[in-house]
Every structure is written in structure tokens, then in C-alpha cells.
Amino acid sequence: MRTALEIVFWLSAGLIVWTQVGYALALAVFTRLFARVSDSSPVGSLPSVSLIVPAHDEETVIVAKVANTLELDYPRELLEVIVACDGCSDATAVQARAAGADVVLELPRGGKIRAQDAAVRRARGEIVAFSDANALWDAPAARALAGAFEDPRVGYACGQVRFVQAASGADATNQEGLYWRYELAVRGMESRLGSITAGNGAIYATRREAYIEVDPIMGHDLSFPFNMVKRGWRAVYVPEARATEKMVPSLEGEFVRKRRMMSHAWPIVLRGGMLSPRGYGFTYALMILSHRLLRYATPALHLLALAANVALLADTAGALYTITLVLQLALLAAAGLAGTVRARPLLVARYYVLTTTSLAAGLWDWLRHGTTAAWDAAEGTR
């Protein structure tokens, strides 16, 4: 019995350490040894780009978004701006037209994905690019993103979104920026080795012929990269294509946002094709396992490690398992204390505990009552 408990504990703890830290370290080694040499040759003729902005009741930000898009360093004759209004009940459509959008679609409420699908069918560009209504692109971003498609193997490219704090002082508790910088570093190494395992909604693009119409509850961020790989394309990260977006101010708000995101992500994992190895090479399959599947399994792994640790101490007291239990309980205590003491290490612990919990909460939500295709803006991001 003790041997079985030890196997459960060390396997669970080892997988947590691997997915959170070890995988990134391994990527760093393999990137130095086997990374693709980037092509620094000049970009040829620019492709036509249709930049699509799905919007639901975005009248507070849509004018600034359209203006930002029209100010991009990209030939105007090659840039088409499409705003896809998803059942808007405010002045989003009127303001988008007045701001200079080339096409404004007024659609019944069907969710972000169906609004994007409708816009792609209407688009004229060779490349279809996508952005959120509250995300602002740097002027060179469109050129950098389009440049990725000089490689005929690339079907999907996402840029670098930088989250900026929307609050200050005691209200600014979210530690997403710290995590996101780590995530982008991992994403960059994945891209250099082959393909990334996830993107972001603020700045990304696909070839028009590579675009996939997915289930409306399954977002592009997670479903597009691995599906592109299965279809023979590369999915790459372009850090030179930059955008900024306001993050949710509070840790509690970030928990709500990630819980909603995971209610859309779990259907992709469990029935959307991610689990099927068909179409993956060995390296990409290992990336999916390490960066996605084990990361999403972290709540269960933590529970197994904690339960096995307690059982081992109940069976026979030992210094090693006393230390490991103290470390686990200290993490939980630090997360709880961060509710009243706003120290950075405590806030990081609280961020980790809440975002890990959100993975399980999103699964519970999906299994209990399904997931709606419609979405609303996250708290404090507009």
C-alpha cells in the first residue's frame, strides 16, 4: 500500500513540476540544439489582408479600434477592415461605419465564432486577420504578421499581446502579466521548433484557404493551432507583431475570465480532436501533452499529490513527507493570506491557486450545463 501511495505522490508531483517548469527548461535546451533557422530574407509583395473585428456591444471602444486599424503601416488598398457586429443592441455598427470601417456586418446574436465565420465569407483578403475590439495593434504589426506567410508552410500566425494593468494601487492584484511573459517565452520556443500549441484572440491571422469553421463554442485560440498542424500547416508565433490589451484588474476577476475560457476549452480537448494523435509528429504530440493536456490536468494532479501525502503521513511519519505536506499547505495558506496582505509573492501564490482551480471549475460548468456560444466582455477590460 505504501509503495502505491509513493508512486501516486511522486508521479503526480513530478508531472506538475514537468508541465509548469521542466517542459520550458527542456524546450530551452532543444531550441538551442535543433531550432529552425529564421528566414531573414526581405518580404516580397505584400498580400491583401482582411482584418476582422467581432464585436458585441462595443460602442465604447470601436471607434478607437477602427482608427487604430486604419493607422497601421500597411498599404490601404491592400487592407480591408471588417467589423462583425454580433447581435449588438447599442451604437457599435453606426460608430464603426462613421469611423471608416470598410464593411460592417449586422448579424443576429450567434457568438464570436459565428460572427468571424460570416466575416471570413465576406472577406476579400488573401490573409484573414483577427483582433478583439479592445486590442490596439502597434503600427508595424500587420506587416510583421503578414510576413510570416512568406513561408508557404505557415497556415496560422499569432502575434504578441501585452497585457496592461487597467487599475492601480490596491485594486491591481492580477498577476496575469507575469504568467503571460512566461507563456510567451514558451510559445516562442515551440514556434522555433515547429508549431505552437495555442494562440491568442488579440492578434492572429490565417491564410484564407486554411481557415476552419469550428463548433461555435470552441474558440480559435486553442482549436486553430493543433488543427492546422493536423492539416499539414505550421502554426507560428510572431513576436514582432505586437498588440496591447487591458487585463482584468483583480485576481478574482481573472478567475472568472479563465473559468469561462476553460468552459470553451474543455470541449476542444475532450471532443474537438486535441486528444487524437492523428496528424501529430512525435515532437508536436509531446508539446500537446506537456503544455496542454498535463497543464489542464493540474487540479487533479494537485489533489492526488495532497491526498497521497496525507495518507503517507498517516501510515508512517517521515521527515520528507512532512516537508512536502508543509510546502503544499504553505502554498494554500499564502494564497489565502493574499486576500488581505497585498505582497507580491502572496499574490503570485493566489494567482496560481485561483487559475489552477479555474481549470476544474470550467470543466464542471461545461459538464453541468454546457457552454453558450455568446460572450460578454470581461470585467474592467474596456
Q: Which helix (H) or strand (E) holds 240?
A: strand 234-247
Q: Which helix (H) or strand (E) holds 204?
A: strand 204-207
Query: Can you tell me the distance from the alpha carbon of 355 to that of 252, in angstroms, rounded to the nearest whole number?
Result: 9
More confident residue, 203 or 167: 203
Q: Which helix (H) or strand (E) holds 99?
A: helix 92-99
Confidence check: pLDDT of 216 > 60: yes
pLDDT in tens, 104-138: 999 999 999 999 999 999 999 999 999 999 999 99
Query: Can you tell me the distance from the alpha carbon of 268 to that of 274, in angstroms, rounded to the nearest whole number?
Result: 6
More confident residue, 307 or 37: 307
pLDDT in tens, 57-88: 999 999 999 999 999 999 999 999 999 999 99
Lowest mean pLDDT among 78-82, 141-145, 342-346: 342-346
Nearest alpha-carbon partner for 158 in 208, 195, 104 = 195
Confidence check: pLDDT of 233 > 50: yes
Are the beta carbons of 165 and 153 closer than 8 angstroms?
no
* Per-residue model confidence (pLDDT) at position 101: 97
Confidence check: pLDDT of 379 > 50: yes
Check residue 290 and report its DSSP letter. Answer: I
The three three-digit cell numbers of residue 295, written as one number:
497543464
pLDDT in tens, 272-295: 999 999 999 999 999 999 999 999
Task: Look over the chain and give the mean of its residue pLDDT values, rounded to a whole number.
Answer: 92
Query: Can you tell me the distance from the alpha carbon of 30 to that of 125, in angstroms, rounded to the nearest whole number?
Result: 37
* Per-residue model confidence (pLDDT) at position 381: 64
Confidence check: pLDDT of 333 > 60: yes
pLDDT in tens, 314-330: 888 789 999 999 999 99
Cα angle 220, 226, 229; round to 5: 125
CATH class as words, domain 49-250? alpha beta
Output phi, psi for 240, to 5 deg: -75, -15
* Per-residue model confidence (pLDDT) at position 318: 84
* Per-residue model confidence (pLDDT) at position 248: 82
Query: Can you tell me the distance from the alpha carbon of 350 to that of 34, in angstroms, rounded to the nearest whole number?
Result: 37
C-beta atoms surrounding 93 within 10 Å: 21
* Per-residue model confidence (pLDDT) at position 382: 58
The three three-digit cell numbers of residue 99, written as one number:
469611423
Mean pLDDT of the 235-247 span: 94
The three three-digit cell numbers of residue 126, written as one number:
488573401
- 167 — pLDDT class (breaks 50, 70, 90): low
pLDDT in tens, 170-197: 455 666 777 889 999 999 999 999 999 9
The full set of domain ranges for the chain reads: 49-250
* Per-residue model confidence (pLDDT) at position 41: 47
Strands (E) across 89-169 are located at 103-107, 127-130, 136-137, 154-165
Percentage of the chain beyond pLDDT 90 is 80
Check residue 247 and report its DSSP letter. Answer: E
Residue with cell 463548433: 215
* Per-residue model confidence (pLDDT) at position 342: 79
Are the beta carbons of 235 and 196 closer than 8 angstroms?
yes
- The pTM of this model reads 0.91
The three three-digit cell numbers of residue 379, written as one number:
470585467
**Category of 273 on φ-ψ map: left (φ > 0), alpha (ψ -120 to 50) or beta:** left
pLDDT in tens, 13-35: 999 999 999 999 999 999 998 87
Residues in CB range of 171: below 8 A, 6 or more apart: 249, 250
Sign of the CA dihedral with 267 first, then 269, 270, and 272 last: positive
- 229 — pLDDT class (breaks 50, 70, 90): very high
C-beta atoms surrounding 310 within 10 Å: 15
